[in-house]
Structure 1
Amino acid sequence: MDTTPQDLSHLFEQLGLENSEESIATFISSHIIPDKVLIFQADIWNESQKSFLKESIEEDAQWSEIIDHLDAQLRK
């Protein structure tokens, strides 16, 4: 069982992105996902990141709740 904490910092780490608070805030403020685009379809991700996001959501995996949180932040 994976005991990695599920928070934005660790999600960004899973996605291979810089995961400091400042980097996360910069990423969120500089990317907006259009309303009709699913988070894993957004062009801000590479194919591996898209696959991780899609699988996590479809399988209601441990990351799905924090992905939903990130999704909401990327639509503000």
Structure 2
Amino acid sequence: MEPTVHAFSDLFAQLGLPNDAPSIRGFIATHAPLADNIRLEDAPFWSASQAQLLRDERIEDADWAIVVDQLNLALRAPA
């Protein structure tokens, strides 16, 4: 079975966030840089369900883990 490739925008849709390019850029600009000592899913700007989704996808679903890691890196980059 081939792995499913998810787009970065698909993760935003899964999180219930606007997933068009300007909205994604705005979200990252608003919340970056995330401090090194804060795990992505523990960031204060997530709802409980968003944090759980990130936690679950990173641990349980390798297909989603790639884009979750991309989001993590994007939020750690200097604004």
Whether TM exceeds 0.5 here: the answer is yes
The one-letter code matched in structure 1 to 2:9 is S
> Partners of 1:11 and 1:53 in 2: how far apart?
9
Asked if structure 2 preserves the Cα contact closer than 8 Å seen for 1:4 and 1:10, the reply is no
State yes or no: 1:31 paired with 2:31: yes
Q: Distance in 2 between matches of 1:35 and 1:74?
A: 10
Gaps of 5+ in 2: none
Matched, 1:45 2:46: yes
Q: TM-score, normalised by structure 1?
A: 0.88
Residue-by-residue CA offset, 1:16-55 (whole Å, 9 max, x unaligned): 0001100000000110211011100001100000000001
In the TM superposition, residue 61 of structure 1 has moved relative to its aligned partner by 3.3
The answer to which structure, 1 or 2, has the higher relative contact order (CA under 8 A, 6+ apart) is 2
Q: CA deviation at 1:58?
A: 1.5
How many residue pairs get matched? 74
Decide which moves more: 60-69 or 18-27. Answer: 60-69
What is the TM-score when the length of structure 2 is the normalising length? 0.85
Amino acid at match of 1:12: F
RMSD of the TM alignment (CA)? 1.6
Query: What are structure 1's unaligned runs of at least 5 residues?
Result: none
Greater mean deviation of Cα atoms: 10-19 or 29-38: 29-38
